Amino acid sequence: MTDETKPELGAADIQEIMKLLPHRYPFLLVDKIVEIDGDNSAIGIKNVTASEPHFSGHFPDRPIMPGVLLIEGMAQTAGAICARKEGEGGYLVYFMTIDNARFRKPVVPGDRVEYHVTKQKQRGNIWKFHCDAKVDGVLVAEADIGAMMRKGSE
């Protein structure tokens, strides 16, 4: 492996994530990022707890994490990649597209979701990612997302 191809591995705790993303409880859906390879890929973590507000209605007798929140967690992990490349703060990442979304297995309280996000391409401020959500190494959801970065003041 040469210096040119060496991964730029890093990580982000919740404080760094909160510097990169504008989301806050109850809508901050990434607890930490255990691996960031430059602007190429990242693995984010969400520890699912029974006390999360959406479980009071989805569903009271059998709580299941809404699929749209899995997509949002994947998107937030991707957004952290984008924001980290541009420097902390000042940028917002907007959803543009969600394609090929599939939900394979339910996610329930006690699960630890890993968001595996890989950049497919980037052109200017437009980014495309493939995202997998896994619990215990098993694929529970996947999607291809497109996002656009903008300065917060634009």
Kind plus residue range of the DSSP H or E element containing 75:
helix 67-86
What pLDDT digit, counting tens, does each position of 56-67 carry? Answer: 999 999 999 999
What pLDDT digit, counting tens, does each position of 101-121 carry? Answer: 999 999 999 999 999 999 999
- Confidence at residue 150, expressed as pLDDT on a 0 to 100 scale: 86
16 three-class SS = helix
Q: Report the CATH fold assignment for 9-151.
A: Thiol Ester Dehydrase; Chain A (3.10.129)
Domain ranges of the chain: 9-151
Instruction: Find, among 2, 35, 38, the residue nearest to 122 by Cα.
Output: 38
- Confidence at residue 1, expressed as pLDDT on a 0 to 100 scale: 45
128 three-class SS = strand
Pairwise CA distance, residues 42 & 77, whole Å: 7
Kind plus residue range of the DSSP H or E element containing 12:
strand 9-12
Q: Which residues are catalytic, by number?
A: 58
What pLDDT digit, counting tens, does each position of 27-83 carry? Answer: 999 999 999 998 999 999 999 999 999 999 999 999 999 999 999 999 999 999 988
pTM above 0.85, yes or no: yes
